[in-house]
Each structure stands twice: as C-alpha cells, then as structure tokens.
C-alpha cells in the first residue's frame, strides 16, 4: 500500500490522473502499483508495465470511501491478464468487506491474448465478485474506451453504466467477427457506440460527452446512494422545487412528465437515467427535502406513456436498484395501459411486464404514488398501486382510474344498446366517466388515500415520505439482477 503523490511520470499517469479526478482531492491511495504479470511465453518478459495495465486503489467521494480501478490502454492495451484481474478482484473484495461502493473505469483490449485461459478465468473471478456484491454495495462502471467480448459483462452486472461518447465501444462480438460470420459491414460506433447503448440496447445508464463529465456523473450518482445496503442514503440540504406546470386536461394531449417531476423534487436534483432508451417511462434519482428518492413516471410524450417491454424492464431494474439500496420510490402515473399488439405479445410482454410488477410488489422502501391523469387496467396495478403495497397513493382531481378507457368500455358493456341506437354513445361514455372513472370512487374504497390538487403535490409527497422515515432498516434486501 503506497500513498501516491503527484506528479508521476510513467504511462500510468493518465489513468492515475483519472482515478484521482474521480475521488475527493488528495484522497487516493493506490494498491498494487508494482504488480507485474508473470508470463514468459511470447517474449512477454520484455513488456512488463508496472501495475499490469490497471490502477487500483481506494479514495473518498463526497467524503465517503470508495474502491476504484482504472484500466490503462497505454499498458498492453489495457488487456486483462491474471495479475490485472487479480488487482480488480482485490478491490472488489475490499469494497465488499469495507461495505463501500466501487467504481471501475474501463478501457481495455479485453482478455490478454498471450495469457489465454488464465485471462478468461480472470474475467470469471471478476464477474463472480460483481454478482456477490450486487445489491450490497453500489457498483458503477465508467466506460472510457473499448470494452469487447465477454468483458462487457462486468459493467452489465453493475448498477450504473456510464459511456463516454465517441470513445466507449461495447460489444460481445467486434466488427471483424461480425463481418466474417454475417458478412455485415459495421463500424465500431454503429455496433456498440454510445448511441446504440443509450437509445436501443438500454445498456447505458448515462452518456457523457468527455471523460471529465463521465467522472462527474459517477460522483453525482454516488451522491444519491448509500455506501452499502447497511447504510441509509445520504441526505443534503433541502431545495425548493420548480413551479408545477399545468397539465393539459384533454387526456389525449401530450406533455413532458419531467416538468411535473421538476415541480415535485428539489430544484436541479433530478438525474434522469437511460433517458434515450424506452423514453415512454422516465426513471431517475432526485431529492425531496434533501432526501434521495427514485422517481418512476410514465411519459405521455412517447407512445402516449404506454408500458411496453423495454419500459417494463428499464423501470423494473431501477425499482430493484432503489429498493436494494434503501432509496424511497416516488411513482407518477399517467398510463393508458400496456402497449397492445402482436409484436409485444410475441416478444414477451407477459414475462417482461411481470418483472416490473414483481419489482414493485417486492420493494420494501417507502413507496408513494401520484396518479396525474389516468391509470387503466393492468398498468394501473403495476404502477405501484395500493394493492401492490404502496404506502400511499394520491390522485389529482381530474384523473381517470378504471379497468379501461371510456370509449373501449362502453363498446363492450353497451354493445347491444349501441347496435340498437349508435347515437347514445356519447351519453354512455359520459355516464361511464361519471360512474366508473372519477378518483373519488377508488378513494371511497381506500384504493386512493387522498385526492390532492396539483399544487399540493410536493408538500403532500414530502410530508408522506417524512412520515415514513422509520421504515428504513439496515440489511441486505436482494441483488440487482440485470434485466
Ligand atoms: C494482448 C493486446 C490486446 C489483447 C490490445 N493489445 N489488445 N494485447 N491482448 N486483447 C495490445 C496490442 O498488441 C498493442 O501492443 C497495444 O495493446 C495497443 O493496441 P493497438 O491495437 O495498437 O491499439 P488501438 O489501435 O488503440 O486499438 C485498441 C483495440 C485493439 C481496439 C482495443 O487493440 C483491439 O481490437 N484489440 C483486440 C480486442 C479483442 O478482440 N479482444 C479480445 C476480446 S474477447 P503493442 O505492443 O503493439 O503496443 C475477450 C474475451 C473476454 O476479451 C471473455 C470474458 C469472459
């Protein structure tokens, strides 16, 4: 163990500088700076960079301990051999024992070819530890360069994946192999760049424009999470929310639910995750009265806010991550239902929608729901309803809550009447709205705790969360299984 003082003059400078930039100034202590591979084959004794291509150590972020590793592409391409893997495994073990988060800065040519199976086994050792730590301590991956082959599975097992735009490339099979097998010509970026993982695959939680921003985002994420599941999430000075926007009364008109989130949470505290992927559901960390919360909200601007496969998986993983780390959940509902169609059914909306249902039903953190405009059918139940165990469900006065929308409902229950006299449709729709959809109906049977005005929302949610402060208990709840 050595205390590292700047300036340093070897190829590890850049990664050391990054490791140091991630942690609080002066707080980095390096482990294993003299480690070198022991390989003799392929003339490898001629290339034995100090540290074996990875900087590992401990430091503090926001004054709290973290473990970290930073791969160095200037040393053997950042490739992973037995010693390199052993250093990372030690830091993961250290974080597990110390019950502190671990951050990895990834930039590597993958398994060190000269080390063969020893390199592959090194990955296995890392994956096993990623899984053992899952749900126990937060794990953050910052991908600053290539991350190829099975190496992608370490970040995929962690809680948060941050990609540096233009530099990070993640794929299981690289362009050359793709070309050989499928004859498809594809660039690194089109195969595994930030756009692919930020928008289509859902691998990226956050995309940063440069390394500096990537590290800043990692620090910011850690600011919402506890050191481990045995610690309460950190609290900060309360901030004022933004103004609550007027949401269109016509349920078919879109609006941006992030404006409503801004009207509830402490100003500037919302950090949206996976913003470009499955944008029909919005998830992210925020603070209310200085207390970290996880926000899940249907987004009426995209697919009218319907839940589909991607949205269900995105929200399910976020709910499970928040629950694992004791972060209370605030759910904002404006959902017409699950996205209908053969594509969704055949690809498994039953199986995948069930993940979100499972995640909410399992969650033991404080859970508060606000129904903004509509909540129909299965999606009403899934979005943290009272019956799934929500601590409190509120509704805005104009909300419609029912088995289905009025038009669809009257076509089913008044089919014969409408065949006899189609002109009655509007009147029947109005009657259904009155008798089956208004929020006072579920409020009468305690499915909704209180109907509240939009302007009251922040105060009511904050007061409810305060009242639930005693819910938090230290302890392992569950892992954060990738989905
Ligand atoms: C050994 C490697 C290496 C590797 C790079 N180097 N990757 N050495 N094993 N996997 C070495 C190069 O030989 C070179 O050494 C130095 O690192 C820099 O590499 P360059 O290619 O010159 O750098 P650059 O042009 O920046 O390209 C970086 C790169 C490329 C895109 C990462 O090196 C590359 O494609 N590497 C192979 C990637 C790959 O297919 N890896 C295996 C994935 S499969 P010198 O001595 O010339 O400086 C895998 C399985 C994991 O990882 C399974 C886990 C279960």
Q: Is residue 144 classed exposed, middle or buried when 0-12, 13-18 and 19+ CB atoms within 10 A define those classes?
A: buried
Give the C-alpha separation, 279 to 370, whole Å. 19
Tell me if 80 CB under 6 Å of ligand 1. no
Sort strands 281-288 and 291-298 into parallel, antiparallel or unpaired: antiparallel
Tell me if 123 CB under 6 Å of ligand 1. yes
Res. 9: pLDDT tops 70: no
pLDDT digits (tens, 9 = 90+) for 340-388: 999 999 999 999 999 999 999 999 999 999 999 999 999 999 999 999 9
**Contact call for residues 353 and 310 (beta carbons, < 8 A):** no
Query: Residue 13 — very low, low, confident or very high, per pLDDT cuts 50/70/90?
Result: low
Region 446-455: mean pLDDT is 97
Tell me if 77 CB under 6 Å of ligand 1. yes
3-state secondary structure of 270: coil
Res. 6: pLDDT tops 70: no
Res. 4: pLDDT tops 90: no
Percent of the chain scoring above 70 in pLDDT: 97
H helical segments located in 117-168: 117-133, 153-157
pLDDT digits (tens, 9 = 90+) for 391-432: 999 999 999 999 998 999 999 999 999 999 999 999 999 999
Region 150-155: mean pLDDT is 92
Tell me if 211 CB under 6 Å of ligand 1. no
Give the C-alpha separation, 129 to 4, whole Å. 27
pLDDT digits (tens, 9 = 90+) for 274-285: 999 999 999 999
Res. 447: pLDDT tops 90: yes
Res. 7: pLDDT tops 60: no
Q: What is the mean pLDDT of the chain?
A: 94
Ordered DSSP codes for 37-69: ----GGGGGG---TTTTEEEEEEEETTEEEEEE
DSSP state of 200: I
Q: Which of 76, 77, 168 to mutate to test the pocket of ligand 1 (most atoms within 8 A of CB)?
A: 77
The rounded Å distance from CA 87 to ligand 1 centre is 19
Give the C-alpha separation, 365 to 330, whole Å. 10
pLDDT value, residue 17: 85
pLDDT value, residue 5: 40
pLDDT value, residue 332: 98
Both tokens assigned to 382: 């899934």
CA dihedral 401, 407, 410, 413 (to 10 degrees): -70
By annotation, the residues acting in catalysis are 149-150, 378-379
Q: How far is CA 7 from CA 10, 13, 14, 469, in A?
A: 10, 8, 11, 46
Res. 200: pLDDT tops 70: yes
Give the C-alpha separation, 252 to 405, whole Å. 11
Residue 295 φ then ψ, to 5°: -110, 130
Q: How far is CA 362 from CA 388, 389, 458, 477, 479, in A?
A: 9, 9, 26, 9, 12
pTM, to two decimals? 0.95
Res. 170: pLDDT tops 90: yes
Both tokens assigned to 115: 């080390």
pLDDT value, residue 11: 46
Query: Residue 16 — very low, low, confident or very high, per pLDDT cuts 50/70/90?
Result: confident
pLDDT value, residue 1: 42
Res. 205: pLDDT tops 50: yes
Percent of the chain scoring above 90 in pLDDT: 93
The rounded Å distance from CA 333 to ligand 1 centre is 47
Give the C-alpha separation, 317 to 309, whole Å. 12
DSSP state of 315: H
Res. 334: pLDDT tops 80: yes
Res. 8: pLDDT tops 80: no
Query: Residue 12 — very low, low, confident or very high, per pLDDT cuts 50/70/90?
Result: low
Question: Atom 42 of ligand 1 has which residue's CA nearest to it?
Answer: 110
Q: Which of 42, 109, 172 to mutate to test the pocket of ligand 1 (most atoms within 8 A of CB)?
A: 109
Give the C-alpha separation, 111 to 148, whole Å. 9
Both tokens assigned to 394: 């509120």
Tell me if 172 CB under 6 Å of ligand 1. no
pLDDT value, residue 85: 98
Buried b (16+ CB within 10 A) or exposed e, 364-388: ebbbbbbbbbbbbbebbbbbbbbeb
pLDDT digits (tens, 9 = 90+) for 42-100: 999 999 999 999 999 999 999 999 999 999 999 999 999 999 999 999 999 999 999 99
Question: Atom 25 of ligand 1 has which residue's CA nearest to it?
Answer: 77
| Sign of the torsion formed by the C-alpha atoms of 370, 377, 249 and 298 | positive
3-state secondary structure of 398: coil
**Contact call for residues 170 and 155 (beta carbons, < 8 A):** yes
Residue indicated by tokens 């097992």: 157
3-state secondary structure of 436: helix
Give the C-alpha separation, 149 to 152, whole Å. 6
The rounded Å distance from CA 149 to ligand 1 centre is 11
Region 466-482: mean pLDDT is 97
3-state secondary structure of 72: coil
**Contact call for residues 257 and 282 (beta carbons, < 8 A):** yes
Strands (E), 254-377: 271-273, 281-288, 291-298, 329-335, 367-376
């Amino acid at each position: 163990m050595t205390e590292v003082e700047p300036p340093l003059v070897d190829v590890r400078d850049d990664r050391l500088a990054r490791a140091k930039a991630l942690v609080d100034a002066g707080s980095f202590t390096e482990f294993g700076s003299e480690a070198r591979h022991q390989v003799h084959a392929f003339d490898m004794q001629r290339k034995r960079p100090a540290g074996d291509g990875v900087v590992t150590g401990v430091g503090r972020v926001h004054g709290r301990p973290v473990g970290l590793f930073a791969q160095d592409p200037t040393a053997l391409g950042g490739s992973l051999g037995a010693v390199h893997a052993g250093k990372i495994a030690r830091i993961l073990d250290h974080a597990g024992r110390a019950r502190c988060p671990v951050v990895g800065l990834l930039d590597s040519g993958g398994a060190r070819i000269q080390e063969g199976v020893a390199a592959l086994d090194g990955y296995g050792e890392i994956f096993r530890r990623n899984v053992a730590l899952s749900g126990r301590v937060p794990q953050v991956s910052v991908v600053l360069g290539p991350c190829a082959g099975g190496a992608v599975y370490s970040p995929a097992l962690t809680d948060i994946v941050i990609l540096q735009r233009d530099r990070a490339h993640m794929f299981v099979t690289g362009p050359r192999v793709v070309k050989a097998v499928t004859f498809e010509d594809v660039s690194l970026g089109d195969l595994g760049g930030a756009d692919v993982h930020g928008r289509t695959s859902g691998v990226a939680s956050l995309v940063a424009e440069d390394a500096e921003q990537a590290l800043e985002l990692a620090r910011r994420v850690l600011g919402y999470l506890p050191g481990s599941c045995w610690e309460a999430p950190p609290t900060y000075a309360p901030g004022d929310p933004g103004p609550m926007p007027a949401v269109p009364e016509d349920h078919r008109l879109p609006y941006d639910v992030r404006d409503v989130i801004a009207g509830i949470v402490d100003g500037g505290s919302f950090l949206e995750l996976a913003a470009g992927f499955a944008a029909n559901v919005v998830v992210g960390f925020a603070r209310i009265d200085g207390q970290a919360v996880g926000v899940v909200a249907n987004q009426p601007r995209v697919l009218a806010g319907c839940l589909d496969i991607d949205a269900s998986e995105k929200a399910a993983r976020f709910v499970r991550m928040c629950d694992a780390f004791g972060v209370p959940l605030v759910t904002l509902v404006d959902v017409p239902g699950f996205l209908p169609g053969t594509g969704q059914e055949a690809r498994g909306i039953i199986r995948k929608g069930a993940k979100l249902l499972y995640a909410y039903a399992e969650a033991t953190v404080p859970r508060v729901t606000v129904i903004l405009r509509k909540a129909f059918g299965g999606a009403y139940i899934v979005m943290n309803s009272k019956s799934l165990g929500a601590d409190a469900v509120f509704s805005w006065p104009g909300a419609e809550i029912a088995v289905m929308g009025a038009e669809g409902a009257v076509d089913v229950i008044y089919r014969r009447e409408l065949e006899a006299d189609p002109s009655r449709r509007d009147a029947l729709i109005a009657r259904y709205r009155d008798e089956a959809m208004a929020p006072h109906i579920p409020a009468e049977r305690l499915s909704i705790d209180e109907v509240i005005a939009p302007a009251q929302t922040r105060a009511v949610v904050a007061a409810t969360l305060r009242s639930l402060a005693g819910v938090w208990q230290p302890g392992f709840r569950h892992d954060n299984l990738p989905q």
